[in-house]
Structure 1
Amino acid sequence: MSPEDRSLWLKQPAMPAPPGVKPDFENPGNNFSYAFPMYLVVFIISNSVFAMKIFTQIRLIKQMRLEDWMLAAGWLVYAFAFFPFGTMACYLPVGVHQWEMLNERYMRNMFVYSLTFPAYGIIMIFVKTNILLQYARIFVPTGMRNFTWWGAHLLIGLNVLFYTGYTFAVILMCIPRKKFWDSTVEGGKCLDWVVLLATGNSITLVSDLLILLLPQRVIFKLQLTRSKRIGLSLLFIIGIFACLSSTIRVYYHIKLLHTRTDNTYYLAKIAFWATCQLTSGFLVACLPAAPVFANHLKTKGWAIRVASSVRSLLHVSTLARSEATGDNQITTIGGNKHKHSVRVRQATDREFEELVQKTELSSLASVSRTEADTEQPLKRHEPV
C-alpha cells in the first residue's frame, strides 16, 4: 500500500455502523469517567494487601519463603507492566464500539491490548504458584505427601506449563507482531487470536475452580476457632469472585467468537474482568498474613490511641443525641404514669481517656494469653 493510500485508509471507519446508527467519530461514547477510577481502586487494593504481606514476612515473621518471592515477582509485572498498559487503555478511550472509531484509533486500541495479553499470563504464573505453595505449606503436615500436597504440586506444574505456553503464543500470534493491529502489513501470518484467547481463558476458569476446591476437604476437617472460620470463608468468597470473573470473561470471549466484529468493545469488557481476577488473586495470596499483621497493630501505642479516640468520639456523639432527645429519663415498670429523672454523673474526658487506655492494655494482655493457649494445638495450620 502506498503512503497516500495508507493515509486515506487511516481516516476510514474501522467497521461499518449497524443499520440506523450514525457514528460520532469526533466524540464517541467513552467509559473513562468510571473505568479509570474503578481501575485505580482495584490497583490500590492490590498494592495495599501486597504491602501488608511483605511487611509481615520481612518485619514480623522475618522470613521470605519461595512463595513470597514468587508473589513479589508477580507484583513487579503487575505494577510496572499491566497497570501502565491498563492506564493507557483507559485513555484510548476505552469501551468504544469499533464502528465509532477510525482505523488510526482502532490500531492504537489493538496495540495496547496486545501488550496486556503477555503481562496477564506472566502474572498468573507467579500468583497461582504462590497460592498453591501456601496450600502445601499450611494444609499439609511437614514431611507428609497426601492428596493436597500432590494436588497442589500437580497444579503448579500444569499452570506453569500452560501460562508459559500462553504467554509465548500471544506474543507470537502474529509474525510480524505489527500485523495484529495493522492489517495493511503485507506478508506474514497470524493465528486465530480470538480462538486462542477464548481457549486460554476457558482453561484459566478450570484452573481457578480446581484451586478453589483443592483445600476444601482439609478445611472441613480442621478444628478452628470462629474467627479463623470467618477468615477462611472470606477467602472462599474471594475465590468464588475470581471464578465469576473468569466466567464473565469466557462469556465475552464466546460473544466475540460468534460475532468476529466489534473487537474494541468486547476486549474492553474482557480486560476489565481480567483486572478483577488479578485483584482477587492478590487478595487470596496476601490475606492469610492479615491475622499476624492485625496482632502487630494491637501492640502499637498509636493504634491504641486511635481506637480510644474513635470510641471517645462515638461516646460523645451518643451522649449528645441522648441529651437532645431527652433519653436520660428512665421509665419504671408500670408504664408512663411514674417517670423518675435519674441524674447520672458524667465522667470527664481525662477520666474516660485513662479508663479506655487501662481497658485496652488489660484486654490486650488477656487476648494475647488466650490466643497463645488456644492456638498452640493448631500451630501447623496457622496462615502467614
Structure 2
Amino acid sequence: MDPNRPGLEPPPGVMSNFDDPRNDNRQANAGIAICLILVITSASLRAYSKIFCVKKVHIEDYLALLALGPYIAFVYGVYSLMNLTGYYVHQWDVRIKVLPDALYIIYISTSFFEATMGTLKTAILREWIRLFVPRGTKNNFYWACIVIMCLNILYYVASILASGLSCFPHEKIWNKTLRGTCVNSKVIFVSSASINLVSDLCILILPQRIIWRLHTSKQKKIAVSSVFAIGVMCETLPMILIVRGANEPPSSACLTAAVRLAEGVVFLLSDDVVYNISAVSLWCLAELSVAFVVFSLPAIPKVFAGNTWIKRILVSLSLWSKSTTAHSRIHDSGISSRKTGENAIRLQSVPRSEVVKSESSEQLRPSDQSENGILRTTRIDVRGVVVDDHQRDDNYNHQHTWMSNRDSPRVEGGYR
C-alpha cells in the first residue's frame, strides 16, 4: 500500500492537495482561545471567591480541580490534531500514512472528554445538593440529583471502557491496516452527545423549581435563575459564529450539546472522518468549557460583593476611564487654558454659537462686528467715605480696628 496516497478517494474532478489544503485553522484557533479564556477566568474567580471571600472549600471544588487535568489534556489533543491534519481539511487532502496518528489523537481525546465531563457534572450536582437541600434532609430534589449523578458516573465509565474495547486487537482502533474486528466507534460519539444533551437539560431545569418557590421578589428570582442558567448559553452564539463559519447562519437558540449531537450525526453518516471530526472536537471543547462556566458562576458574585481588591481595581479603572473620557471631550471641544505667568491664565475666545444662553443675564443684540468683539460692558460704581478724626467715636474704632492701628505710631517690636 502506497503510504502517500490520499486517505480517501476524492470526488470526480477533484485533485488532492497535500501541500496547502484549504482549512479553517484560524477560526478554530479563535474558538479554542475563547474557550480557554472563559475557563481560566471563571475558574480563577471561583477559586478566589472560595479561598479569600468564603474561606471554605468543599468537595466539589476539589472535583473541579481534578477535572482541569483531563481538560488540559483534551485541549492539547485539539491542538495536536490541528497541527497534524488541520481543521476542516478533507480526508482526500491528507496522506493515508497520517491517518493512524490522527485516529490515535481522536481516541485518546475522547477518553479525556468523558473523564472531564463526568467529573464536572458530578461536581455541579454536588453543589446543587449543598445549595438547595437543607442539611440533614433528603427531599425529592436530593434524590433526583443523586440519581442523575450515579447515571452520569456509570455512563462515562462505561463509555471510556467501550472506546477502549471497540477493536480487537486494541491497536486497530487507530491503525486500520491491521487485521481484526471493530464495532462502529462512531456510534459512541452520537450516544455520548445524546446523553450529554439530556443531562445538560436536567441539570439546567433541576434547580429552577426551587428558585421560583423562594420567598423573595420576582426580580431576585430572575437574577438567581439567570446565574444558574446563563452559563449554558454564554458560549453558544460566539462559538457557532466562529466554528461553523460566517457562511452558515447560526441558530442562537441551540445549545452546545445539541449542536455537537447534530455534528455527531453528520460524522456518523460520512466517510470523510478527518473533515467531520473537526466540528465534533471543537464542539466537545465548547461543551466542556460551558460546564466549567456553569460550575463557577454561582460563586463569582461574592468576589464583587465585598470590599475586595478586585472590586477596588474595577472601581479605580472605572474612575480612570471617566476621567480620560472627560479630558478627551475637553480636548476635542477646543477649549483649554494655559498658565503663562505667576497667577495668570490665558483666556481663549469662544465662538458665539457655543455661548450658553442664560436666563438671568441681559441678552445683548448681535454685533455687526466680528465674533471676537466685546460681548458685554459692565459699569462699576465705587463709593468712598471720608471720616475726620473728630468724627470717630468708640463704636467706629471698635468696628474698624485696623483704622486705629494704622494711625498709631510704629515702634520697634510692634505698636504702641
TM over 0.5: yes
In structure 2, distance between residues paired with 1:60 and 1:225: 27
* Correspondence for 1:269: 279
Are the equivalent residues in 1 in contact too, given 2:208–2:225 (CA < 8 A)?
A: no
| Structure 1 residue 318, shift from structure 2 partner | 3.6
| Structure 1 residue 99, shift from structure 2 partner | 1.5
* Residue identity opposite 2:70 in structure 1: V
* Residue identity opposite 1:111 in structure 2: Y
| Structure 1 residue 214, shift from structure 2 partner | 0.8
* Correspondence for 1:96: 89
* Correspondence for 1:216: 208
Change (3 A) 1:141 1:317: farther
Change (3 A) 1:198 1:309: same
Aligned residues: percent identity? 26
Q: How many residues align?
A: 327
* Correspondence for 1:236: 229
- The structure with the larger Rg is 2
* Correspondence for 2:197: 205
In structure 2, distance between residues paired with 1:274 and 1:329: 62
| Structure 1 residue 132, shift from structure 2 partner | 1.0
Does residue 158 (structure 1) correspond to residue 151 (structure 2)? The answer is yes
In structure 2, distance between residues paired with 1:330 and 1:138: 58
| Structure 1 residue 54, shift from structure 2 partner | 1.5
* Correspondence for 2:257: 246
Q: Which runs of 5+ in 1 are unaligned?
A: 341-384
Change (3 A) 1:148 1:26: same
* Correspondence for 2:321: 310
The Cα offsets for residues 283-309 of structure 1, whole Å up to 9 and x where unpaired, read as: 110011111111246556545433332
Are the equivalent residues in 2 in contact too, given 1:297–1:303 (CA < 8 A)?
A: no
* Residue identity opposite 2:268 in structure 1: L
Are the equivalent residues in 1 in contact too, given 2:81–2:102 (CA < 8 A)?
A: yes
Are the equivalent residues in 2 in contact too, given 1:331–1:339 (CA < 8 A)?
A: no
* Residue identity opposite 1:256 in structure 2: F
2:133 paired residue among 127, 133, 140: 140
1:14 paired residue among 7, 29, 42: 7
1:149 paired residue among 142, 146, 156: 142
Root-mean-square deviation (CA), in Å? 2.7
Are the equivalent residues in 2 in contact too, given 1:249–1:270 (CA < 8 A)?
A: yes
In structure 2, distance between residues paired with 1:174 and 1:331: 86
* Residue identity opposite 1:262 in structure 2: D
Does residue 28 (structure 1) correspond to residue 21 (structure 2)? The answer is yes
* Correspondence for 1:288: 298
- TM-score, normalised with respect to structure 2: 0.72
In structure 2, distance between residues paired with 1:314 and 1:30: 42
* Correspondence for 1:171: 164
Higher helix share: 1
In structure 1, distance between residues paired with 2:158 and 2:21: 37
Are the equivalent residues in 2 in contact too, given 1:14–1:103 (CA < 8 A)?
A: yes
* Correspondence for 1:53: 46
In structure 1, distance between residues paired with 2:328 and 2:307: 26
* Residue identity opposite 2:320 in structure 1: S
Are the equivalent residues in 2 in contact too, given 1:67–1:130 (CA < 8 A)?
A: yes
In structure 1, distance between residues paired with 2:54 and 2:365: 59
* Residue identity opposite 2:184 in structure 1: D
